[in-house]
Structure formats: C-alpha cells, structure tokens
Amino acid sequence: MSRWQALADEAARWREAGRTAQLWWRDDDAVDAGEALDRLLAIARDLATPLALAVVPARATPALASRLAGETDVDVLQHGYAHTNHAVAPEKKIEIGLQRPAMLTLGELGTGWMALEQLFGSRALPVMVPPWNRISPVLVPTLPEIGYRGLSTFGPRPRVHPVRGLLQVNTHVDLIDWKGGRRFAGEETVIDALVTALARARAGDGEPVGVLSHHLAMDAGAWDFLRSLWEITRTLENIRVLGARGLFTAEVRDRGGRG
C-alpha cells in the first residue's frame, strides 16, 4: 500500500493548495468488438469512469459501433487512419509524418474522420491521436485547417494550444512496458509516473494527466492495476476524473461550422 499512499499524499498536496487535479483515461488501437473490449468497458461502467477510445478508422467495424451504442461516458477519438508505419528503419515508427506527400496523408485523415462520423455519430470527437503518439511538427498546424479541434500524444505538452484552434491534452502514464517485453510496467513504476505527472501539473498550469491503456495488449497485471487505479482514485479528494468531451469542450465544435 506504500505506493498507493504516495498517490494519496499527492492528492493531499492538491487539497492543501486549494486545487483539484484532473485525470483522464485514453485507450488506444480499438478496431472491433471482442472479449478484451468487453473487459475494458466493464471497468469503465462498474467504476463510473469516463473512457476515451482511440479508434483506427480504416479498420473500425460496425460491430464496434454496435457494441458502444449502449455505453455511456465513452467518447471516440481518431487514431490516425490505418495505424500504418511509413518510416524506414532506423527511423521511429510514424504514420502522420513527411515520408509521403502531405496532401495524401491529410486526405487519408479526412477519409478516416468521415468513417468515424458514419459509424459513431456524435460520439466521435474531432481529436487526433497519432499512432505511436508521433506527428510531424510541420503537419500540426494543418489539423485545425481540416477540422480537428484537439490533439493528444504522450508526455508533458509543450503548449496548451500548439496552434490557434487546437487544444492539446496528452497522456503521461503508460501501463505497458513496450521495450521490456510488452508486459505490465509494474505497480511501482506506474504509480511513480502518475505521482510525478501530477506533481508537475500542480507546479505548473494544472495540465490534465492522462492514463494510457491498450486493451488488446494488456496482461493480467495491467488489467488488475487498471481496476485498482480507478477504484482508489474515486476515494481521493481533489482528484477528478474527466471525460474527453469535457476536456476538449472548449475546442470541440461541429466540424460543419468550420470556415
């Protein structure tokens, strides 16, 4: 319980400062209905925790849309287009980069958004979640030009608004150790990362802190921790878990109203 106590202590520091920390939950790589998705949604529903599901448009199925139809507090974000790597080794994997003509990349993103709108309707938010959390800086200013109002990657955001009309709300804590065997990173590591991110937000502008999960890649340890995390945060004063729609509400508008 000592690691969880560190989280409680950080919540107490927010209380002493007369402030409330904001947490949010993003899960990446959703494409279809299935047992893992059911397990994810059960946690969100049982613990009344808002969930942002980053969906890959080119691979998303009607079955996924049907599965989400009866769920509350589940928002859909756009996870690139096809989650395809266009980099050449030793470059890091990236889909939204400059390896191809920008117009081709942006055209795919637009096609992906139309697919999400058709499948998920108003549940889909015009928020871009780049695969592998990478996007070429040159392409960021084009996002609001083609209708996106939000951007979500990983790590502390350099600015609240990278460009006018675009709000950045990132994730900061990944449950999976991708380099260490694609397994649960461990309770100590994850809680330390969460406490560090919360402390950084408290010392700064109160940036919302995001927890990142991947329901298709999690082992038993990650699943157990995820449920414990949302159970415990519900008991902590001055930590509030928000949904993506609430976080992006100042920026998310009907894309049909763009100029």
pLDDT band at 2 (very low <50, low <70, confident <90, very high): confident
Q: What φ, ψ does residue 231 adopt, rounded to 5°? A: -65, -45
Burial of 204 (0-12, 13-18, 19+ CB in 10 A): exposed
Report yes or no: 227 and 47 within 8 Å, Cβ to Cβ.
yes
Assess whether pLDDT exceeds 70 at residue 41. yes
Range scoring the smallest mean pLDDT among 8-22, 94-108, 150-164, 241-255: 241-255
Measured CA to CA in angstroms, residue 103 lies from 81, 129, 130, 134, 213 at distances of 14, 19, 17, 18, 31
Spatial separation of the C-alpha atoms in residues 246 and 249, rounded to whole Å: 5
Cα separation of the two ends of the chain = 53
Residue 213 pairs in a beta bridge with 27
- Report the pLDDT averaged over residues 116-145: 97
Q: What's this model's pTM, rounded to 2 decimal places?
A: 0.94
Distance CA 144, CA 155 (A): 21
pLDDT, tens only, 187-226: 999 999 999 999 999 999 999 999 999 999 999 999 999 9
Average pLDDT, the chain: 94
Which H helix or E strand runs over 3? helix 2-16
Calpha distance 129→210 (Å, rounded): 13
Read off the pLDDT of residues 82-123 as tens digits, 9 standing for 90 and up.
999 999 989 999 999 999 999 999 999 999 999 999 999 999
